[in-house]
């Protein structure tokens, strides 16, 4: 094959670029009508639209026309009025002449897409947007993508402008406030300057009088005067230090008073806890010996009395909700040793609330520790206890002492039918 035969592809490529370079932009009246709004709004400024209005002798009713009305007019007439359409096309070609010469040498859709992406990254899309839509190689996909990007950018710009306008209005209000404060500060500075000038004059007059008096008196008297002046200065400094110490002590006393108040509240809380712990300790001391003995033989009938069975639950079913899993067996041991029936629910950790409802129907009294049960379980207990008219007892902690102390109170109340815990 000869050398001349090996060059057709390169020559044809150069011929293709030459042919493209002579191609004119696609007229706007041959484009998709849905692009006109974004095309005119992005590629032409309001001032340029006003020039087109003057050039085409377009008039509107009213003395002043809004920018939106002017924009809308050219969007509507760009494809229907040949004269206006040609004016817009001519202005676009003149404005972006150099950019068109650059883009028209592009001979592939891929390179055209890359140029559009670069324009988006640089933020300069007005010229590239028209050139892309008017390019002979543009595809429907690329045109739609470019239109979509410009459409979304208009929303972002609008949102940014609204935010900037809101910020600007806030700044204007703040500026007005600062101006008022500045005027007040200037007036105060002027007033203080006047006072300072007056004091300086008074001080100067006093110095002159002192100087004249010192000349008339003996040197010894002058020394006494200087000594008294130094003493006066020391006393004034001492007074200022005393005032500062007084303020510091006052602040320290206020802080200590607040701290004492907090400590008093903590002390009252600790006293209450100690009282409860002593009660629970006494119950444990009195009950531990009975835990090793036999259970009460009462069959659930009339309670034989406190002397016969001081901690008899009389076969009542006690439902314990929540608590510590490691102490469940001990809860059971205490309740069953006191002639009670033990039921347990973990408060919703693994067991369902439906199961809790079934246990509540069987129980005579419901016990739960306030420090070891969920809020949801407590609300469920309160609601179902009212529904089934069940006794409900909250104990301080999940410890055995709290449980025994509460059961002791309940056992004593069970012997007094007229006294019943309030479930509300």
Confidence of residue 126 (pLDDT cuts 50, 70, 90): confident
What whole-number distance in Å separates Cα of residue 276 and Cα of residue 379?
A: 25
Whether the per-residue pLDDT at 352 is higher than 80: the answer is yes
Res 319: pLDDT: 93
Whether the per-residue pLDDT at 291 is higher than 60: the answer is no
Pull the structure tokens for residue 418. 């007229």
Res 321: pLDDT: 93
Whether the per-residue pLDDT at 91 is higher than 90: the answer is yes
Res 8: pLDDT: 42
What whole-number distance in Å separates Cα of residue 339 and Cα of residue 293?
A: 12
Burial of 51 (C-beta count, 10 Å sphere; 0-12/13-18/19+)? middle
Pull the structure tokens for residue 93. 């070609």
Confidence of residue 369 (pLDDT cuts 50, 70, 90): very high
- Given a contact cutoff of 8 angstroms between Cβ atoms, the answer to whether 32 and 79 are in contact is no
Q: How many whole angstroms from its chain centre is CA 329?
A: 47
What domains sit in the chain, N to C, each tagged with a CATH number?
9-164 (no CATH), 317-414 (3.40.50.2300)
Length of the chain: 424
Q: Write the pLDDT tens digit of every residue in 50-63.
A: 999 889 988 888 76
305: left (phi over 0), alpha (psi -120 to 50) or beta: left
Helix (H) or strand (E) holding 60: none
Q: Write the pLDDT tens digit of every residue in 215-255.
A: 665 554 555 667 767 776 777 777 677 677 667 767 766 77
What whole-number distance in Å separates Cα of residue 275 and Cα of residue 380?
A: 30
Give how far Cα 355 sits from Cα of 62, 233, 390, Å: 80, 86, 16
What whole-number distance in Å separates Cα of residue 318 and Cα of residue 406?
A: 12
Q: Write the pLDDT tens digit of every residue in 399-423.
A: 888 888 888 777 666 555 544 444 3
- Given a contact cutoff of 8 angstroms between Cβ atoms, the answer to whether 142 and 109 are in contact is yes
Helix (H) or strand (E) holding 400: helix 400-414
Whether the per-residue pLDDT at 364 is higher than 80: the answer is yes
Q: Which residues of 281-306 are buried (b: 16+ CB within 10 A; e: fewer)?
A: eebeeebeeeeeeeebebeeeebeee
Mean pLDDT of the chain: 76
Whether the per-residue pLDDT at 302 is higher than 70: the answer is no
Q: Is 420 helix (H, G, I), strand (E, B) or coil?
A: coil
Res 14: pLDDT: 53
Give the number of other CB atoms < 10 A from CB of residue 148: 11
* 168 or 122, greater pLDDT: 122
What whole-number distance in Å separates Cα of residue 82 and Cα of residue 56?
A: 11
Pull the structure tokens for residue 286. 């009195």
Write the secondary structure of 174-200 as one string of H (helix), E (strand) and C (coil).
Answer: HHHHHHHHHHHHHHHHHHHHHHHHHHH
- Given a contact cutoff of 8 angstroms between Cβ atoms, the answer to whether 74 and 48 are in contact is no
Helix (H) or strand (E) holding 306: none
Helix (H) or strand (E) holding 58: none
């Amino acid at each position: 094959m000869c050398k001349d035969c090996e060059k057709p592809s390169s020559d044809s490529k150069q011929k293709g670029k030459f042919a493209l370079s002579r191609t004119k932009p696609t007229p706007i009246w041959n484009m998709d009508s849905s692009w006109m709004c974004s095309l005119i709004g992005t590629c032409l400024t309001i001032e340029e639209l006003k020039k087109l209005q003057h050039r085409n002798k377009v008039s509107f009713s009213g003395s002043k026309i809004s920018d939106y009305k002017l924009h809308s007019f050219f969007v509507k007439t760009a494809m229907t009025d040949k004269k206006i359409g040609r004016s817009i096309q001519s202005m676009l070609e003149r404005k972006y002449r150099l950019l068109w010469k650059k883009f028209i040498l592009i001979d592939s859709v891929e390179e055209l897409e890359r140029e559009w992406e670069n324009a988006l990254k640089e933020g300069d899309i007005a010229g590239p947007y028209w050139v892309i839509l008017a390019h002979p190689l543009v595809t429907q996909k690329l045109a739609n993508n470019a239109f979509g990007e410009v459409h979304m950018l208009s929303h972002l710009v609008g949102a940014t402008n609204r935010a900037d306008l809101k910020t600007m209005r806030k700044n204007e209000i703040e500026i007005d406030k600062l101006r008022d404060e500045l005027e007040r500060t200037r007036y105060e500075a002027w007033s203080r300057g006047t006072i300072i000038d007056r004091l300086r004059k008074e001080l100067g007059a006093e110095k002159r009088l002192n100087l004249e008096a010192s000349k008339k008196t003996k040197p010894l008297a002058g020394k006494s005067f200087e000594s008294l002046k130094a003493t006066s200065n020391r006393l004034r400094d001492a007074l200022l230090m005393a005032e500062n110490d007084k303020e510091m002590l006052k602040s320290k006393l206020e802080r200590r008073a607040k701290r004492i108040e907090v400590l008093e509240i903590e002390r009252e809380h600790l006293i209450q806890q100690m009282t409860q712990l002593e009660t629970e300790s006494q119950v444990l001391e009195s009950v531990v010996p009975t835990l090793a003995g036999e259970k009460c033989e009462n069959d659930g009938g009339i309670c034989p009395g406190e002397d016969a069975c001081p901690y008899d639950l009389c076969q009542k079913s006690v439902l314990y909700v929540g608590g510590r899993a490691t102490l469940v067996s001990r809860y059971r041991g205490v309740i069953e040793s006191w002639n009670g029936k033990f039921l347990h629910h973990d408060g919703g950790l693994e067991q369902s609330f439906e199961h809790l409802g079934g246990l509540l129907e069987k129980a005579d009294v419901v016990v739960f520790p306030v420090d070891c049960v969920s809020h949801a379980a407590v609300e469920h207990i309160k609601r179902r206890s009212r529904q089934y008219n069940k006794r409900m007892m909250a104990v301080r902690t999940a410890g055995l002492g709290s449980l025994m102390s509460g059961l002791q109170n309940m056992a004593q109340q069970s012997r007094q039918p007229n006294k019943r815990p309030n479930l509300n």
